[in-house]
Amino acid sequence: MLRLKEIRTERGWSVPALSERSGVSRRTIQDLEARGDGRLSTARKLADTLGVSLDALYPSDQRAEA
């Protein structure tokens, strides 16, 4: 599961705010937060918008499994 929601809420951003800043649709962000699966390019765009590395979006236990 991505840490997207955790990082987004730490910054005080709503889904609509992240969507507007990143250009990623609200629905895609909601799906990523709920299911954690999606395109790498989308995750990279969101990480860049949030000012974190792509690795920061993934818990360390998921990185170890890959």
Which two three-digit tokens encode residue 33?
A: 């937060």
Helix H or strand E encompassing 32 = helix 26-35
Residues 6+ apart with CB under 8 A from 52: 7
The structural domain count of the chain equals: 1
- Position 64 confidence tier, pLDDT thresholds 50, 70, 90: very low
Please, are residues 56 and 10 in contact by the beta-carbon 8 Å criterion? no
For residue range 36-61, list pLDDT tens digits in order.
Answer: 888 999 999 999 999 999 999 988 76
Confidence (pLDDT) at 1 = 60
Euclidean distance between the first and final Cα of the chain, in Å? 13
Strands (DSSP E) along the chain, which ranges?
Answer: none
Task: Give pTM, 2 decimals.
Answer: 0.85
Residue 28's domain is classified under what CATH number?
A: 1.10.260.40
Tracing tokens 């918008």 back to the chain, one arrives at: 49
Q: What is the mean pLDDT of residues 9-33?
A: 97
Domain of 40 in residue numbering reads as 4-65
% of residues, the chain, pLDDT over 70: 89
